[in-house]
Amino acid sequence: MTRLWKVPGARLLTSPYALEEARRNCQDAEQRGRLEDLIRAVEVVRDPPLDRSLAALEPIPEKDRPILQAALTAHATHLVTGDRRAFGHLFGREVRGVRVLKPAAYLAGIAPESRG
């Protein structure tokens, strides 16, 4: 989904926690190499302290709460994720000012000129 890197004016953010999860999900050296190339154009924000009230607000698996918390703390406008298991119930919704979308929905609704 490298089209996200081509969206004019988009500021791509991640956290050390999310970055480590992405690295763990790489299947081989080629995927790890591509990930490391993409990371060069991403701003890595600090992992925030967890907000325990977030668990009561949204039923997200504990291991995935730092992902949403980092987006909230960084004042991101969107959390773009393909993780249906953890975030599927939030797709298309806004949580404390952060809209949660699948990558295709983000590209289709926010940046249609980046398709292709």
Domains of the chain by residue range? 2-114
CATH architecture label of 2-114 = 3-Layer(aba) Sandwich (3.40)
pLDDT above 50 for 112: no
Q: pLDDT tens-digit profile of 50-78?
A: 777 776 666 888 889 999 999 999 999 99
Average predicted confidence (pLDDT) for the chain: 88
Taking only the tens place, the pLDDT of each residue in 5-25 is 999 888 999 999 999 999 999
Phi, psi of 115 (to 5 degrees): -70, 150
Asked if residue 36 has pLDDT above 50, the reply is: yes
Q: How confident is the model at residue 56, as a pLDDT?
A: 61
pLDDT at 75 (0 to 100)? 94
Q: How far apart are CA 29 and CA 20, in angstroms?
A: 15
